[in-house]
Amino acid sequence: MQGSVVSGDDYVMCPSEDWIASALSFDGESQYAVFTGAEMKSEITWKDKKRTVIFPGAKRTTVDMQTNGFLIEAVLRFDGDADGGGLAGKPGASGYQLSIDGAGRPALRIDVDGATAITTTAAKPLTVGAWQHVVVEVDRSERDGVRFYIDARPVSMTVAGDMPARTASLANDSDFLVARDADGNHLKVTLDFLRVCRATLATARTSIDGLYAWQFAGPHLKTWWGEEVGE
């Protein structure tokens, strides 16, 4: 993934690291990150001791969703943005877009064949200036199968439309965008962690409490001797 107009000064301290500035702060005006559609579909070549191996781009598993369920997980600090903007998504005639609106509420839109199938908006806004854990889960087997979690707690939602049929693919040739949507609406946000998973919590055999515990009490935060990092 590439950054646009990003420098070392845009990295700040965050909850997951106490020894280096590793969270990326986006200004809401010009900065964003992109994983291009062309890069997702390109073949990968590497060499071992005896041969050159080529992995076909058509076989790559990426953030380009088909008929599968998925979730988007982030540890972020919403820095306040009166206009709101795209947080993460691969929008297109068919695709998905997670945004944060001007009131600080996460919202997910899924489009199919040039029309919006479902839009879901969290009733609870994010707390401006606070580090929070946000998960959006999409279960394609349910008519209204979008769920929001903030700091491991489910959040009530408003829903417009229905989940598209499970046969409807969300695949497209577009870029995956972070801190910007396809219309150029940038978002003022700082990201400590961002993950897109091609599964629901159930199919990944985990839980929202498990994800939260991994982020804030996981083994990566401890030394080889089991001590908290920084002790």
Give the per-residue pLDDT at 229. 55
- Distance, CA of 105 to CA of 48 (rounded, Å): 48
Any domain includes 200: yes
Closest listed residue to residue 6, CA positions, set 20, 22, 25: 25
Q: Is residue 227 part of a domain?
A: no
Calpha distance 41→58 (Å, rounded): 6
Per residue in 35-85, pLDDT tens?
999 999 999 999 888 899 999 998 999 999 999 999 999 999 999 999 999
- Overall number of domains in the chain: 1
* Residue 231 covered by a domain: no
Judge whether 54 lies within some domain: no
- Residue 49 falls within a domain, yes or no? no
Residue 144: CB atoms within 10 Å: 13
In a domain, 50, yes or no: no
pLDDT number for residue 227:
62
CATH number at residue 72: 2.60.120.200
What's the pLDDT tens digit per position in 146-176?
A: 999 999 999 999 999 999 999 999 999 999 9
Is residue 188 included in any domain, yes or no?
yes
Pairing status of strand 85-90 against strand 95-100: antiparallel
CB-based contacts of 175, cutoff 8 Å, min separation 6: 34, 35, 36, 37, 90
Report pLDDT digits (tens) over 115-125: 999 999 999 99
Residue 146 forms part of a structural domain: yes
Best CA proximity match to 35, nearest among 170, 180, 176: 176
Report pTM. 0.91
Residue 115, domain extent: 2-43+62-221
Q: Which two tokens stand for residue 229?
A: 């990092």
